[in-house]
Amino acid sequence: MSAFHATADRIAWGLRAAAAALCLLTPLPAAAQAQGGMDAAGICRATTAYVEQVRGLPPQLLAAVSLTETGRSIRDDAGERQFVSWPWTINAEGKGYFFDSKDQAIAKVRQLQAQGMRSIDVGCMQINLRFHGEAFDNLEEAFDPLINVTYAAEFLTALFDEHRSWKKAIERYHSATEQFYVRYRSKVYDNWLSERERVAMSRRQLEISALEQMRAQRLSEVARRRAAAREQLANNS
C-alpha cells in the first residue's frame, strides 16, 4: 500500500473500530493462526477469502491485492512451485523483506524505525505505517492477519465509495499518480484472474470428488443388494 492516501487520516479510527469489531464477533480462519513455515503460505489466502465474504467485497479481490503486494514463489510439500501471499512481509522505502515469522518481521520494523525510517509497509496487505499506523495500537496488531486484511478491506471500500469504481479503488490503494498505479492495477487484474480461475478449478475438483463419492456409494449399495439377493436365492433353493 502506498503512503499517498489523503483520505487515510479521516477514516483511520472508523476503520480500526470496524476491524476490531470483526475480530471480536467472528472466529479467525484456522490458517491465520499459524506462525511460520509452509503454514504461513496459507494465512493471507485464508484470511482474505474470509474477509471478502464477511465484508461483501468482490470475490478474490483482496487475494489479488495481497498477491500483488506480498507475493513470493515457494516450494510446497510436493516440491512444486507456487506463488503465494506472505504475511510476514515488509517493504521499507522500496526494499522488500520476507521473514519466516511474525516476530522476525516485527524485530526488523523496530530496527528500521530506530534508524529513523517511517515509510514501512507491513503484513498481508502491506499497510503503510507512516500514513496508516494510527489504525493499530502496536506492531502486533499491524501484522495480525485478520486486523491487517480487515483494515485493507474497509479502506478499499471507502475508496470505492469515494470513486464509485473498483478499478479506481485498486489504483488509489497504491497511488493517486497515474505513472505508478497503471502497472500496479495491471498486476492486480492479472492476479485477480488467476485467483478466480484457481477457485473455479478448486470448486470443480470438489464437485468431481463429490460425484465420484456418490457413484462409489451407489455401486457399494448395488453390490450389497445383489449379495443379499443371491443369499436369499441360495437359502430358498
**Digit-coded pLDDT (tens) for 161-184:** 999 999 999 999 999 999 999 999
Instruction: Tell me the residue ranges of DSSP E strands in the chain.
Output: 71-75, 81-85, 89-92, 95-98, 120-122, 127-128
State pTM to two decimals: 0.76
Q: What pLDDT was estimated at residue 77?
A: 80
**Domains of the chain by residue range:** 8-208
Q: What pLDDT was estimated at residue 37?
A: 44
Q: What pLDDT was estimated at residue 6?
A: 44
Q: CA–CA separation, 55 vs 26, rounded Å?
A: 12
Contact in structure between 82 and 76 (CB atoms under 8 Å): yes
Q: Distance of CA 229 to CAs 23, 223, 236, Å?
A: 58, 10, 11
Q: What pLDDT was estimated at residue 10?
A: 47
pLDDT < 50 positions in the chain = 3-7, 10, 13, 25, 31-38
Q: CA–CA separation, 184 vs 206, rounded Å?
A: 33
Q: CA–CA separation, 113 vs 115, rounded Å?
A: 5
Q: What pLDDT was estimated at residue 234?
A: 76
Residue keyed to cell 522505502: 93
